[in-house]
Homo-oligomer: A and B are copies of this chain.
């Protein structure tokens, strides 16, 4: 194998891929990146047997071939090379990398040892602009659980509806649903209802970056495959699906609300972040008081032994006054996942879940459970 590519391309993609390389691989070859040199492109792939990623970059191969190299080590060196051509030559398993005035020797493992990334040939892919998928992920992914023992809750539930693509995630305390749509979708998209590990989708978000291309999505009973092509090359991400029944989350959303509040999103975030300094001292509890007479939302928290704080923010409030408490972190997470200048908070009672949503933009439904407070 003998191939030449640009350091900037190689460094950018190795940096993306090396994030997915397992720290304690079950087999040594899984700590490596697979390099495949074809006539005019170089393929780079990593795979931890659940999450796989493959990216192609432009290259000139004098001699095609393949080899695997230690992923993190290669990334550490390539990221520091000057912005010039990089030549990679493999003779059997001995690899020499040359760039500028430097040359580096390393020992590879046979490409044959590297497990093949899953393929799904039979299924008709769903073609959606990457921006539509990114909107869906941005509005929901943050609410997935990071606790590995919570199984399906560490995933994001993706499903097709008659009029939207639905992205939902919950960790048991809050639920985020994003509904997106694209003109390019068929009137009735094929039925899909799968739970994809949040970890894989966070890598997909990074891989897509600001790409303005179409994303092809394929699913079967055990795998999800995402693919896209850009001017520089193509990229593919495969992930095992999470098994088990995802919670019937639509049942959790109250049908009717007695109270409604509209407020500037940024004003509410800033107020909550200040009150959050006090709330952080005691379970992150922030108290909200809806004052319809003054048309103000009062936020308050107490920090034992330190002090207390209140913020009074202008808001449009309808319905009876109410005192309710939330985890301040959950509120801020939801507000930050939204865009647009105003948000709406719909409330039923001090013990029923509340729903936060932006007034404009992507349809987002963020449900949070209140915290019981005693006065």
- Chain A 41-79, CB within 8 Å of chain B: the 1/0 string? 000000000000000000000000000001001001100
In the complex, which of the residues B70, B271, B309 contacts A306, with contact meaning CB atoms closer than 8 Å? B70
Interface residue stretch chosen among A15-23, A102-110, A356-364: A102-110
Q: Is A106 within 8 A of B270, CB to CB?
A: no
Q: Is B307 within 8 A of A80, CB to CB?
A: no
Q: Is B73 within 8 A of A277, CB to CB?
A: yes
- Chain A 261-299, CB within 8 Å of chain B: the 1/0 string? 000000000110111011000000000000000000000
Interface residues in A239-277 by Cβ distance below 8 A to B read 270-271, 273-275, 277
Measured between alpha carbons, how far is A70 from B305 in the docked complex, in Å?
Answer: 11
Q: Is B102 within 8 A of A306, CB to CB?
A: no
A373 in contact (CB, < 8 A): no
Measured between alpha carbons, how far is A64 from B314 in the docked complex, in Å?
Answer: 34
A82 in contact (CB, < 8 A): yes
A308 in contact (CB, < 8 A): yes
Q: How far is the CB of A93 from chain B (nearest CB, A)?
A: 11
Taking CB atoms, residues of chain B closer than 8 Å to A85 are none
Measured between alpha carbons, how far is A80 from B105 in the docked complex, in Å?
Answer: 51
Taking CB atoms, residues of chain B closer than 8 Å to A303 are 73
Q: Is B277 within 8 A of A309, CB to CB?
A: no
A-B contact pairs, 6 of them (CB 8 A): A73-B277, A76-B277, A101-B271, A102-B310, A104-B307, A106-B306
Q: What are the nearest 9 A-B pairs in CB distance?
A: A106-B307, A104-B309, A102-B311, A76-B277, A80-B274, A101-B312, A105-B307, A77-B277, A105-B308
